[in-house]
Chains A and B, each alone.
Chain A
Amino acid sequence: MASSILAPPDADTARTDRGVTQAKIDQRHRLFNRICFGVLIAFALLWLVPLAWAVDTALKPNAETTRASWLIDDPTFAAFGRVLSDMPILNWFGASLITSTLTAVGTVITASLAAFALSRMRFRYRNVVFWAILAGIMIPGQVLIVPQFREMDALGLLNTYWAVSLPQIPTAVAIFIFKQFFDGLPRDLEEAARIDGAGWFRIYRRVVMPLARPAVAAVAIFTFVTSWNELLWPLLVLTNPDLMTMPVGLATVQGAFGIRYADTMASAVLGAIPLVAVFLLFQRHIVEGIAGTGLKG
């Protein structure tokens, strides 16, 4: 159904006394759709130009990048080799992998536990807790960088991956996604488990979480990507070049390569590859995460 908005009405309907006008209208819809398709393709291709240009330039020798041409006389992967040997890009990759994984795992565990309590348990101050979490959404993380930096300094965590990940873990949005999902799950299995003597944690662990896999995937992947791309906070707390995450490291590239544009673009492409891979593998979950966050917001 989804793809056939403007499928012509079935033969029965068309064979009414208004048959002629109906045919005309169908024709109009079909023409309109063809124009839509053309316009959209044009914009989609335009949108791909910067990425294609980056890849194209990365495959040139540096000397060839001084003229803006798509054609490459002498295509080569040499720029990638130079970037990999000149820049600790694999270290940056490792740092990003560790911090983003830590953030994603921490968020999934803490948010799902809290959401489970809010969805299933009755306790005093439940509304207070709920509103306190909601209030947290209103505070943009960026306005907290000054006190958070002081705090990390006091805790002696500057230049550690903990400093990068810990403040990113408590995200109210993740709680809302989980709570929404838990609220929609049928209770029969839980009832059965309870009659069998299962406690709360067992129900959470063995009954609810296995059913909540789509929510886990959406939260985990979305958190992972957001955390991977974070710039301002890791820029502040990681000053040791050996610990830098990919975005922080790449931020230093521009100056380093100067006018060696093929090398610059090769580093951009290398920085993009992990995310493009995540995107292609988990496209559906990322999209669901966004749509879910948004529409329930």
Chain B
Amino acid sequence: MSTETVTPPARPAPPPSTPTPPAPGQGRPAAAFLLPFAILYLAFIAGPAVYGLIMSFFDASLVRPGLGSFAGFGNYAEALQDPDFWSSLWHTLWFTILTTPPLIVLAFVFALLADRVGRGRWFFRLAFFAPFILPSAVIALIWIFMYTPELGLIEAGLNTVGLSSPAWLGDPAWAMPSLAITTIWWTLGFNFILYLAGLQEIPRELYEASAIDGAGPWQQIRRITIPMLGRTTTLVAVLQVIASLKVFDQMYLITNGGPDFATRSVLQYVYDQGFTNFRLGYAAAISMLFFLVVLAVSAVWFSIVRRQEKEV
């Protein structure tokens, strides 16, 4: 069997739709089963989404009840001319650019190695995944200490190998890369698990057959593993981009948007405008603009997935 003919496995066939004979009047029990979820969904997701959209057209304020006066597209026009909004959007994108490639590549490499090694998987899962389940506040406490000038472990480590250490969190140019390093360490485990699961779906026979055909490890990785993980990679990539765009915790806790607002994310700008400056209408408009960015990313993902499915 030659490895060139390998194609990703077809999706499992969708389960047959409800083979149970249609009993009469399933509408009513269905409504009853859907009701608890529907109430919460309408009350806390759909309702606020609509209310937020409406609010974005008003001068709503935190310290006044009601919507306030109608502003039309005023909030949106202001946001588009607001340099602080654009810089917070840029910080969010810069963070996404810094974190996404390493979080995909490293997770892939670690999962691939763990899968090939086979032994000690529990240990690798513990090491890479344990940080992910810790609260951001714990991460922040540990990493602020790690980055502390003079006493921090990172500076000490760099000094022992003869390197000088940048000011990490104190330097506007280094603050974002520092946050990116922390985030890579913190969240890599999630992608690692997704990749491990994807790797387990690849039939072992493919490797065995290709080894008999004389394929070396690199050839196996290039010809079998990477193509068969295409789907997983798309998924990891989009989940990662969306997760990175939604960044708030690390910046709020570790740098509080500083130094000199160099790390203020969009969500923190929403927080600052809405809950520090009391401008809820403006904050709602920024949220909507941010939502459009996330939606655009998801749309790109859907089109890629659709193309991949056609190719299969």
Contacts and interface: CB of A to CB of B under 8 A. Distances in A.
Task: Tell me if B's interface is mostly helix, strand, loop or mixed.
Answer: helix
B18 A122 contact: yes
Interface stretch (A71-79, A212-220, A247-255): A247-255
Given A68-B156, A142-B267, A170-B37, A123 B27 contact: yes
Contacts of A36: 113, 116-117
Contacts of B136: 229, 231, 247
Contacts of A132: 41, 46
Contacts of B196: 291
Interface in B111-166: 113-119, 121-125, 127-131, 133-138, 140-146, 148, 151-153, 155-156
Nearest to A29: B217
Interface in A1-47: 1-6, 9, 13, 18, 21-22, 25-26, 28-29, 32-33, 36-37, 39-40, 43-45, 47
A57 interface: yes
A267 B141 contact: yes
A290 B190 contact: yes
A5 B143 contact: no
Nearest to A251: B137
B204 A4 contact: yes
A200 B204 CA distance: 43
A132 B37 CA distance: 12
19 contacts: A1-B204, A9-B208, A25-B214, A29-B216, A37-B117, A53-B153, A68-B153, A117-B29, A122-B18, A122-B22, A142-B246, A170-B41, A200-B29, A229-B133, A261-B145, A265-B145, A294-B232, A294-B235, A297-B239
Contacts of A63: none
A140 B291 contact: yes
A240 B249 CA distance: 20
A123 B20 CA distance: 13
Contacts of A143: 52, 270, 287-288, 290-291, 294
Nearest to B44: A167
A192 interface: no
B86 interface: no
A231 B204 contact: no
Contact of A250 (B49, B141, B198, B214): B141
Contact of B134 (A26, A204, A267, A275): A275
B130 A279 contact: yes
Given A6-B211, A232-B267, A184 B44 contact: no
A90 interface: no
Most chain B CB neighbours (cut-off 10 Å) among A22, A139, A228: A139
Contacts of B274: 145-146, 149
A200 B34 CA distance: 13
Contacts of B252: 231-232, 251
B36 A139 contact: no
Interface residues of B, number: 109
Contacts of A40: 110, 113-114, 117, 124
B55 interface: yes
Contacts of B198: 295
Given A148-B48, A184-B15, A251-B140, A48 B127 contact: yes
Interface in B215-239: 215-217, 232, 235-236, 239
Contact of B142 (A54, A199, A232): A54
B197 interface: yes
Contact of A124 (B27, B40, B249): B27
Interface in A111-129: 111, 113-114, 116-124, 126, 129
B180 interface: no
A293 to B, nearest CB: 9
Nearest to B19: A187
A117 B32 CA distance: 9
A297 B194 CA distance: 11
B143 A50 contact: yes
B228 to A, nearest CB: 13
A104 interface: no
B80 interface: no
Contacts of A48: 127
B284 interface: yes
B37 A231 contact: no
Contacts of A51: 130-131, 142
Nearest to B285: A146
Given A184-B15, A190-B20, A43 B110 contact: yes
B251 to A, nearest CB: 11
Given A114-B37, A251-B253, A272 B138 contact: yes
A159 interface: no
A247 B284 CA distance: 25
A117 B270 contact: no
B87 interface: no
A47 B127 contact: yes
Nearest to B242: A140
A64 to B, nearest CB: 11
Most chain A CB neighbours (cut-off 10 Å) among B128, B188, B215: B128
B127 A44 contact: yes
Interface string A170-211: 100001000000011001001100100001110010000000
- The 10 A-B pairs with the shortest beta carbon distances in the complex, nearest first, are A68-B156, A291-B197, A250-B137, A3-B118, A117-B33, A44-B127, A147-B48, A147-B52, A268-B141, A114-B37
A212 B180 CA distance: 39
